[in-house]
Structure 1
Amino acid sequence: MPLVVPGIQSEGGKDIDTWTTKLMGKTLGDGHTETTFAKQDLPKEHRVLQPDTMFTQDFKPDRLNVHVDESGTVKNVRYG
């Protein structure tokens, strides 16, 4: 069961629908194509999380977390 704290939202966030639409199902690369999104166009505060990698559990509401699978395809996008 997730911890619920009033005023803090770990799912969603500002523009989450826009980022989800832009990134889901694409890989991250150097430029834009039909199947690739350019890394340099991600927000300044972001991190790319790969399966089985360690990452901090600190909460930063403005940080975009981009979860990718083993092949580098974006599977989930959220703030926190």
Structure 2
Amino acid sequence: MPLVVPGINSTMGDKSEWVNKLMGKKLGDSSNETSFAKKDLPESHRVLKPGDMKTMDHNPDRLNIHVNEEGAVHDVTYG
């Protein structure tokens, strides 16, 4: 049985959907085996690189895409 935590669910869908689409890929102009097209991301998103400053406002519908130094996605969160 999955863990259900009130107030954590997003109206944008399940995090695992985006994890499956983005994990390990770089963001670019087109989608293929190693990249994902930026134009296919939800309107409310931000890409966070190591050391980037970010606002601390909580927006449950915003997709946060965490990339490593090489630009590959290593985590996806909402908030």
TM-score when scaled to structure 2?
A: 0.86
Which residue number corresponds to residue 17 of structure 1? 16
Question: Where in structure 1 are there 5+ consecutive unaligned residues?
Answer: 1-5
- Is 1:48 the counterpart of 2:9? The answer is no
Q: Alpha-carbon deviations, 1:4-63, whole Å to 9, x = none?
A: xx7432xx6422110000000000000011000000000000000000010001100000
**3-state SS, counterpart of residue 60 of structure 1:** coil
- Code of the residue aligned with 1:73 in structure 2: it is A
Structure 2 gaps of 5+ residues are: none
Percent of residue pairs identical: 53
